[in-house]
Amino acid sequence: MVKAITFDLWDTVIHDESDEGKRKAQGLSSKIQARRQLAHEVLNRHAPLEAETLRAAYDTMEAAFNRVWHEQHVTWTVDERVSVLLDGLGRTLPDADRAELVHGLETMEVTVPPNPIDGIHEALDALSGSYKLGVVSDAIYTPGRYLRQWLEMHDLLRHFDGFAFSDEVGYSKPHREVFASIAAQLGVEIEDMLHVGDREHNDVKGPHALGMKAVLFTATRDRDKDNSKADAICATAADLPDTIHRLVGNG
């Protein structure tokens, strides 16, 4: 019996990369470029650093992050990322400059925020009357405290009864601990939850392995739909309530 629904954030509640158009309109670099530019600017204050050297070290740090994320189901905090970057360069930073770099990387998606998925407000309104709702999200650059700020900024925070962010739990999807954390917060068993997300491995196979149901959400990312084992596939937020009600027998 489904008693609670958990939501991925990126490309399920948040339209990932929708901030890039805003950044361009404001004359800002893309996030990929801006992160490297910020690191170069802060480091260059203390000793000259070739831009190509910084790029190579940053790319190496990113590759290491992705390997740990995918193989160990852990997302390093931004502070840990900065430590790896500095170690690779053989550099250190004064505490104030290091804090400035970490803060700038963590808040980039709050300073110029991406948009909510079209129709997600109405979908959450409709579902919150029948189920407990929770967030299960990997924190790649933006930590949980700022993702909560994004949700509050868009009047979405009020819909959710619990939050399992990878930087706070210590593990990322599809690790059992992430779903165990949100189940405990919502006061339900893991198998009494249904998860909604856009990635087959993390958001369908992971929940299925724990006895949950899963809906693959394809509104802005649909590359997994043709081979999905999801219990249902939903292409728009407007269709989510009916899709879920039909799936669990409540409509």
Q: Is the pLDDT of residue 250 over 90?
A: no
Confidence label for 249 from pLDDT (cuts 50, 70 and 90): confident
Share of the chain above pLDDT 90, in %: 98
Domain boundaries of the chain, sorted by first residue: 4-18+114-248, 19-111
Are the CB atoms for 212 and 190 separated by under 8 Å?
Answer: yes
**Distances from the Cα of 13 to the Cα of 48, 87, 146, 159, angstroms:** 42, 35, 15, 12
Q: Which of 190, 184, 238 is nearest to 214 (CA)?
A: 190
d(CA 46, CA 178): 40
Say which CATH topology domain 4-18+114-248 has. Answer: Rossmann fold (3.40.50)
The mean pLDDT value of the chain amounts to 97
Q: What pTM was estimated for this model as a whole?
A: 0.95
pLDDT tens digits, one per residue of 99-134: 999 999 999 999 999 999 999 999 999 999 899 999
* Predicted pLDDT at 197: 98
Q: Is the pLDDT of residue 251 over 50?
A: no
Share of the chain above pLDDT 70, in %: 99
